[in-house]
């Protein structure tokens, strides 16, 4: 379940705004607020069934925001294995014109978690949802790296992911507010990029093992998987960063560990690669997505064109190389072009398609055609 914020995090709500538990008659008005705040895909995921819901209401007792949350069953253990509080959705009416609703809702949720005896709380936040990141950062949350999650929960990590709705939606990151552990230092850039390469190389290796193409040996297939992930994603990332730098925009990389579950299932069950390209976002802590749409769009257009060039190259030529399984490389390039250039929405999301479409639909349409072409030629051939 995605987590959202559409309100400024720093300001206190204006006089007359109150936070209370949702009543049956609030359901329809609150859903109407949600529809104004969420994009079409996230509306499909919205649910309050089996969860606590707190609503923000104005002076007329009309819902203008809400937070949907729940807590896991309460084991008799201290942090980090005790009760986990989970924020599923937090949103404010973009038409209300009232600042600080998100802060009031987050604080009310934290108070509820305290009443329930939660030893830590979590929220899943989109890598480009800067409003929600700022909202939760101001409340003591921090981005939990994969290393921190593994060190914190150990063999219980899959259980925590399942409880928090983690491991499904690409681009979503897990944020934590633990009571006992200080926020760790963020990993170096090369470490994050290496994590993305390892994740995708492993997925491509699983696919090559499950659905082999050609007569390549296992060693060649594994080598091709590692090379494909490195070249395809490396060239893409280089094009994005060089274009961003030419616009005086410094980017940082965020791996998509959140989608390991979905990608792993697709690789094992269907033999399909869902590329976990990761997110390239500005390094500034309090950057605004709406202010960077144009520069991010141009940077990802360059990355998308680089991917398209690689995919079309694998279609148009077929060298006979003993050390490289060209059909596996082509399959990976075609899939990367399809997802990254054509699909702008979750859960099978491409960041190039998303950023370019947000910036210019006129630029995204031909990019999508370029991304779809290699797949059509492969199917027709």
pLDDT by residue (tens digit) across 273-292?
Answer: 999 999 888 987 778 888 89
Domain end, chosen from 152, 178, 204, is at 178
Q: Tell me how far CA of residue 303 lies from CA of 159, 212, 238, 372, in angstroms.
A: 36, 28, 8, 16
**Does a structural domain hold residue 5?**
no
SS3 64: strand
**Does a structural domain hold residue 41?**
yes
> So what's the pLDDT on residue 346?
67
pLDDT at 237 over 70: yes
Q: Is residue 203 located within the same domain as residue 142?
A: no
Residue 55 sits in a domain whose CATH number is 3.40.630.30
Per-position b or e across 47-79, b if 16+ CB within 10 A of its CB:
ebeebbbbbbbbeeeebbbbbbbbbbeeeeeee
Per-position b or e across 316-340, b if 16+ CB within 10 A of its CB:
eeeeeeeebbbbbbbbbbbbbbbbb
Q: Is residue 22 located within the same domain as residue 149?
A: yes
How many Cβ atoms from other residues are within 10 Å of residue 147's Cβ?
Answer: 12
The mean pLDDT of the chain is 86
Mean pLDDT of 96-121: 89
Q: In 3-state terms, the chain is what percent helix, strand and coil (to 5)?
A: 50, 15, 35
pLDDT band at 236 (very low <50, low <70, confident <90, very high): very high
**Counted domains in the chain:** 2
Q: Is residue 94 located within the same domain as residue 65?
A: yes
**Does a structural domain hold residue 264?**
yes
In 3D, which of 160, 133, 107 has the Cα closest to residue 3? 133
Question: Is the pLDDT higher at 340 or at 99?
Answer: 340
Rg (Cα) of the chain, in Å, rounded? Answer: 22
pLDDT at 11 over 50: no
Q: What is the C-alpha separation between 373 and 356, in angstroms, rounded?
A: 18
Q: Is residue 171 located within the same domain as residue 293?
A: no
Cross-strand partners of 70 = 86
Q: What is the C-alpha separation between 121 and 108, in angstroms, rounded?
A: 13
Q: Is residue 129 located within the same domain as residue 223?
A: no
Task: Write the pLDDT tens digit of every residue in 133-174.
Answer: 888 988 889 888 878 888 888 888 888 888 887 767 777 888
**Does a structural domain hold residue 11?**
no
Give the domain extent around 359. 189-380
Q: Is residue 359 located within the same domain as residue 267?
A: yes
Domain end, chosen from 125, 155, 178, is at 178
What predicted TM-score, i.e. pTM, was given to this entire model? 0.82
pLDDT at 76 over 90: no
| HSE-CB for 269 with a 13 A CA cutoff | 7
DSSP 243-259: HHHHTT--EEEE--GGG
Write the burial class of residue 42 (CB in 10 Å: 0-12 exposed, 13-18 middle, 19+ buried).
buried
Task: Write the pLDDT tens digit of every residue in 164-207.
Answer: 877 677 778 889 988 655 556 677 888 999 999 999 999 999 99
> So what's the pLDDT on residue 105?
93
Q: Is residue 243 located within the same domain as residue 367?
A: yes
pLDDT at 336 over 80: yes
Q: Is residue 199 located within the same domain as residue 345?
A: yes
**Does a structural domain hold residue 302?**
yes
Q: Is residue 147 located within the same domain as residue 263?
A: no
**Does a structural domain hold residue 13?**
no
Q: Is residue 167 located within the same domain as residue 286?
A: no
**Does a structural domain hold residue 279?**
yes
Q: Is residue 209 located within the same domain as residue 167?
A: no
**Does a structural domain hold residue 184?**
no
CB 86 within 8 A of CB 163: yes
Q: Is residue 140 located within the same domain as residue 219?
A: no
> So what's the pLDDT on residue 16?
64
Mean pLDDT of 94-119: 89
Domain end, chosen from 178, 204, 237, is at 178
């Amino acid at each position: 379940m995605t987590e959202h914020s559409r309100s400024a995090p720093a300001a206190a709500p204006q006089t007359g705004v109150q936070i209370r538990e949702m009543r049956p008659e609030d359901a329809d008005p609150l859903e109407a607020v949600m529809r104004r705040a969420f994009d079409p895909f996230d509306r499909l995921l919205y649910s309050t069934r089996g969860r606590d819901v707190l609503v923000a209401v104005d002076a007329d007792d009309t819902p203008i925001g809400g937070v949907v949350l729940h807590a896991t069953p309460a084991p008799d253990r201290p942090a980090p294995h005790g009760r986990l509080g989970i924020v599923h959705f937090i949103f404010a009416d973009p038409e209300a014109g009232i600042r600080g609703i998100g802060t009031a809702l987050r604080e009310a949720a934290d108070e509820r978690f305290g009443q329930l005896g939660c030893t830590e709380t979590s929220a899943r936040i989109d890598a480009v949802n800067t409003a929600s990141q700022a909202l939760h950062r101001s409340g003591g949350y921090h981005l939990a790296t994969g290393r921190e999650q593994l060190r914190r929960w150990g063999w219980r990590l899959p259980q925590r992911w399942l409880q928090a709705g983690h491991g499904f939606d690409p681009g979503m990151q897990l944020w934590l507010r633990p009571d006992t552990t200080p926020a760790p230092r963020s990993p170096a850039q090369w470490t994050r990029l290496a994590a993305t390469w390892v994740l995708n190389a492993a997925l491509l290796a699983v696919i090559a093992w499950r659905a082999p193409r050609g007569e390549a040996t296992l060693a060649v297939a594994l080598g091709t998987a590692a090379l494909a992930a490195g070249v395809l994603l490396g060239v893409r990332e280089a094009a994005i960063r060089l274009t961003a730098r030419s616009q005086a925009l410094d980017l940082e990389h965020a791996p998509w560990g959140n989608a390991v579950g979905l990608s792993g299932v697709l690789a094992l069950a269907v033999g399909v690669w869902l590329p976990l390209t990761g997110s390239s976002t500005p390094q500034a802590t309090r950057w605004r997505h709406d202010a960077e749409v144009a520069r991010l769009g141009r940077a990802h257009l360059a990355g998308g064109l680089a991917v398209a060039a690689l995919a079309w190259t694998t279609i148009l030529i077929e060298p006979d190389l003993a050390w490289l399984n060209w059909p596996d490389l082509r399959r990976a390039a075609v899939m990367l072009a399809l997802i990254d250039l054509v699909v702008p929405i979750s859960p099978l999301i491409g960041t190039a398609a998303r950023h370019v479409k947000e910036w210019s639909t006129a630029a995204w349409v031909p990019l999508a055609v370029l991304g779809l072409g290699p797949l059509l030629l492969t199917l027709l051939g």
